Amino acid sequence: MSNPNMMYFEERVDVPLIDLDVTAWLLLVQITGDLPLPSPKEMKQFNLLTLLEVVKDPASRNEFEENYWKRWQEVDDDHWSSDSTDKRTKQNNLTYMDLQYRILARDILDAKYPLNIGTYQKLNEKGKALIAFNIISGGHRYELDEGSSDADWKTFRDGDPSKCYSIMTGTKAAPLKCHWLDIDGEGVNDIVDAMLPAKKKGRQSVTAMLKEKLRIGKENKGNSNF
């Protein structure tokens, strides 16, 4: 706080590309004066309110509070928190990601970034979809079973991506052409079926998408959370 001229990037959620992009915009609006820095007193209050939310979430608190982390390490491996299929673990993961994406949504508004995933108070459908995709992606890792019949070839990259899609266009993620370990080549056609899907009725054009982004950017202008 004593040296606001020093800026840095920090990856916080499991979507590093958008997170870094939003951070770049956030730093830019501060440099250009579109988002003036608050006073040190206001900064401390801002951080305090965020930390009060953090301590309500076990996973987030585990990252920020040393004594809490040490106690977490003493928990036996047979505790329910070590079971990714336990409903309490799933709820913990959901609570953790909801907080992280709400913080991202807050930064998006402050940065005037051309995307709308909701607010710090509540995510919209796009924000909730990003959380769902994150949970699906995590499941591709946590649900691997070394005792299953497909353990000799299945990796986290062989998970079913059919429930993941672009929140901008609705285009679904493309499945691998074959098992990940059987891929031989580095070209797109070696990895996925590169055939372009038929144009669907009602699909947004590139021009319409750009207009939507500009509209969202104008709506977000002036909605700083500081």
pLDDT, position 198? 47
Residue 222 to residue 94: CA distance in whole angstroms: 30
pTM to 2 decimal places: 0.78
Residue 212 to residue 226: CA distance in whole angstroms: 26
Residue 42 to residue 37: CA distance in whole angstroms: 9
Compute the mean pLDDT over every residue in the chain, rounded to the nearest whole number.
Answer: 86
- Ranges of beta strands (E only) in the chain are none
Identify the residue with better confidence: 197 or 192: 192
Residue 111 to residue 167: CA distance in whole angstroms: 20
Taking residues 114-120, report their average pLDDT. Answer: 96
Length of the chain: 226
Taking residues 5-18, report their average pLDDT. Answer: 79
Distance of CA 48 to the CA centre of its chain: 23
- pLDDT for residue 157 is more than 60: yes
Angle, vertex CA 100, rays to CA 121 and CA 87, nearest 5: 95
- pLDDT for residue 226 is more than 60: no
- pLDDT for residue 204 is more than 60: no
- pLDDT for residue 36 is more than 80: yes
Q: What is the pLDDT of residues 68-78, one digit of tens each?
A: 999 989 988 89
In sequence order, the β-bridge partners of residue 172 are: 165
Q: How confident is the model at residue 10 (pLDDT cuts 50, 70, 90)?
A: confident
Amino acid identity, position 87: K
Q: What is the pLDDT of residues 73-109, one digit of tens each?
A: 998 889 998 888 899 999 999 999 999 999 999 999 9
Contacts with 161 (C-beta within 8 Å, 6 or more apart), sequence order: 136, 172, 173, 174, 175
CB of 131 within 8 A of CB of 101?
yes
Cα-based distances in Å from 29 to 57, 78, 166: 30, 48, 27
Taking residues 55-75, report their average pLDDT. Answer: 90
